[in-house]
Amino acid sequence: MDERLNYLTIDQLNQIPWLVHGFGLAGFILSDLEKDVRLNSFQPVEMSQQHSAKVFFLEDKPGHKLSGDGLVTATPDLLLLIKTADCLPLFLVDTEHQAVAAVHCGWRGTYQKISVKAFELMQQKLGSRAQNILAALGPCIEQSCYEVGGDVYEMFSQAGFPLSSIFLTARKHDKFYLDLRAANFWLLTAVLSIPEKNIFQINLCTFCRGELLSYRRERVKSQRLINFIGIKNLA
């Protein structure tokens, strides 16, 4: 893991010559993209995030802000943005077709299997294959800090998740601790068959770490971590 300016990167992804990516720290804002020489040639694409399972395939920059939680592209110079403040930012990289996806994985998107939908869109549009996908999981709220209700537990149960692997029972009645990271790791490996060796993680808790932002800690709706991925134009 490497820290550059005000965002974190993953060493294995840094080795890909056509790729840029980063998981933003607190204080890294949209206008900072223009100040970074690695990023200022890109066109940023941000969504109105809805905690949905809606994923878009982009061939160029949209003329308006899309409402959804996932973006896929094989077009250079587009910078796909995901904003988080406890939810999991997840990137998919197709090394065969030089394509990328950026996915916002809150508990709602996760139980609706948005990461699976993002890969399926890559598969449909580009012919992506699981063995050629790299996945990167950024900072998010860790299980011990993420208490949810029995309704959330039941939704994941009905969606077929392995409950014993992603939930711990809390002391309070009808409360559970959810592991967002483990839930999405299961989707990537058990459902999509992406090799475990292709999955990289930054295991930092947004709630515990002051250099990150947490909605549950601060209750500030306007502040979000900026996470980004894009394809360089090497022509």
The model's pLDDT over 172-213, given as tens digits with 9 standing for 90+, comes to: 888 999 999 999 999 999 999 999 999 999 999 999 999 999
Largest CA distance in the chain: 59
Is the pLDDT at 223 greater than 90, yes or no?
Answer: no
How far apart (Å, rounded) are the C-alpha atoms in residues 29 and 26?
A: 8
pLDDT attached to residue 170: 86
Rg (CA), the chain: 17
| Residue whose C-alpha is closest to residue 165's, from 146, 150, 180, 154 | 180
Q: How confident is the model at residue 169 (pLDDT cuts 50, 70, 90)?
A: very high
Which amino acid appears at position 200 of this protein?
F
The model's pLDDT over 85-127, given as tens digits with 9 standing for 90+, comes to: 999 999 999 999 999 999 999 999 999 999 999 999 999 999 9
The residue ranges of every structural domain in the chain are 2-141+193-231
Could you write out the DSSP letters of every residue in 90-137? EEEEETTTTEEEEEEE-HHHHHTTHHHHHHHHHHHHH---GGGEEEEE
Q: What share of the chain is helix, strand, coil (3-state, %, to 5)?
A: 30, 30, 40
CATH number of 2-141+193-231: 3.60.140.10
> 64-101: string of b/e by CB count within 10 Å (b at 16+)?
eebebbbbbbbbeebbbbbbbbbbbbbbbbbeeebbbb
pTM of the model: 0.95
Q: How confident is the model at residue 220 (pLDDT cuts 50, 70, 90)?
A: low
92 and 118 in contact (C-beta within 8 Å)? Answer: yes
Six-digit token string for 141? 């709220």
Phi-psi region of 77 (alpha: psi -120 to 50; beta: other; left: phi over 0): left
Is the pLDDT at 160 greater than 90, yes or no?
Answer: yes
- Look at strands 147-149 and 133-137 and give their pairing: unpaired
How far apart (Å, rounded) are the C-alpha atoms in residues 21 and 16?
A: 10
The model's pLDDT over 27-70, given as tens digits with 9 standing for 90+, comes to: 999 999 999 999 999 999 999 999 999 999 999 999 999 999 99
